[in-house]
Amino acid sequence: MPRQERQPPCGRFDYWWYAIIYAKPGPPFGPALGADASAEILADVEALLASRDSPAHPQHRADLHFILTAMGLREEPDPRIRALRYWLEFDPSWYQHPSSKELRASLPMAQQRELSALAQQRWRGKASEDWQGLLCTIAKDQETFRKIRKAIDEVETEGAGVAHASDFRIAQERYRMKKSEARQIYVNYNRQASILRGEGMVCPEDWRDAFHDVGLLKGRRIIAAPFGIRVKTSSSSLLLPLQVETPVLPDWASVHHRFEHALGNLQRYRNGRPPLPWPDDPTSCQQRCRGAQQQLLS
C-alpha cells in the first residue's frame, strides 16, 4: 500500500512560523509539528487517559496549559475531551488511531458528534489543498519579493509599485500581477525579513501576551526569530511562540536564502524527510536552495 502523502500544514504567508522547517529548535514551548507530532500527542492522550501523574500530564507542562487555556478547555473536567480536542487541533488524522477511537467510544454520542463537527471545521478543505500548487506559489512569491527588494534599492518603495500611493501600472509591468497582490507579498515577507535581520516587527494584539510571557517582546515589537503554531479560538487566532537559535542575518542575500531554505525544508517535510539545518557556511547551501526554488518556477 503506498505511503499516504502528508497534508500541507501551513499556508502561503505563514510557513516560516512552523517547526517543520527548522532542524534544531530551542526548548519547546508548544508541541512540535513534524514527523513525531502524532507520537507526542499520543503520549499526552495516553497520559490523560490513564490519569497518570507523569511529566507529560498537563499540570507539569506550561505549553499544554497554554493550549488548553487558548482553546477554552482548562476548566473542562473530562480529561477525555481535553485530550481529543488537543489532538484534533494538531493532527488531521486524529480519529484513525486506536487510542483516539477508544476515547471517542467512551463518550456519549452527542459529544462524539460535537468532536466530529469541530474536526471538520478545523480541517475543512485541508485534504484538497494541492502541495505542488502551494510550493510553486511560495516559490513565485519569494521571487517576486526578491524583485521588489531590488526595485526598492533602485527607485524606493513608491517607484517599486508597492506603496499605497504607487501607480497600479508599475506592479503590472514589473511583476505581472495586480498592485494589491504585489503589496500583499511585500508586506508579509518584509515583516518576516525584519525579524530575521534583528529589527523586530510590531506584535499583533492577539499575540502580545504570549510573546511577552516567553521574553520575545520589547515594547511593542517582536525582537527574536521565533516560530510557532496557530490556535484558533472563538475570538482570535493565537500564536504559540517558540525560540529558535537563529543568528541575525547580515544582508538581504542571507534573507532570501533563509526563505528559500525554508521552502526546501517544506518540500522535505512533504516527502517524509527531516529538515536540513541552517549552515555555518551557507555558500553551497545557498546554491542548492536557489536551484530547488528555480525548479519550482520552471
Q: What's the pLDDT at 246?
A: 59
What nine digits make up the cell of 175?
511583476
Letter for the amino acid at 212? Answer: H
Q: What's the pLDDT at 68?
A: 67
How many other C-beta atoms can be found within 10 angstroms of the C-beta atom of residue 252? 15
Sign of CA dihedral 247, 251, 254, 258: positive
Distance between CA atoms of 201 and 223, rounded to whole angstroms? 7
User: Could you please report the per-residue DSSP string of 172-196?
Assistant: HHHHSS-HHHHHHHHHHHHHHHHHH
Distance between CA atoms of 14 and 189, rounded to whole angstroms? 10
The residue ranges of every structural domain in the chain are 29-123
Helices 37-50 + 79-90 axis angle, to 10: 180
Element (H, E) at 263: helix 252-270
User: Could you please report the per-residue DSSP string of 120-145?
Assistant: HHHHTTTTT--HHHHHHHHHHHHHHH
The pLDDT tens digits along the chain (298 residues) read: 334 455 676 788 888 876 566 664 433 333 333 334 455 556 666 666 665 555 555 555 555 666 666 666 767 778 778 778 877 776 666 777 777 788 888 889 999 999 888 888 776 655 445 788 899 999 999 999 999 999 998 888 778 889 888 888 999 999 999 999 999 999 999 988 988 887 877 777 777 776 777 677 778 777 665 555 454 444 445 555 555 555 688 899 999 999 999 999 888 878 777 788 888 778 889 999 999 999 999 8
Report phi then psi at 206, rounded to 5.
-65, -25
With b for 16 or more beta-carbon neighbours within 10 A and e for fewer, the 125-149 pattern comes to eeeeeebeebbeebbbbbbbbbbbb
Q: Is the pTM of this model over 0.85?
A: no
pLDDT tens digits, one per residue of 102-150 = 888 888 999 999 988 888 877 665 544 578 889 999 999 999 999 999 9
Q: What's the pLDDT at 85?
A: 82
Q: What's the pLDDT at 30?
A: 37
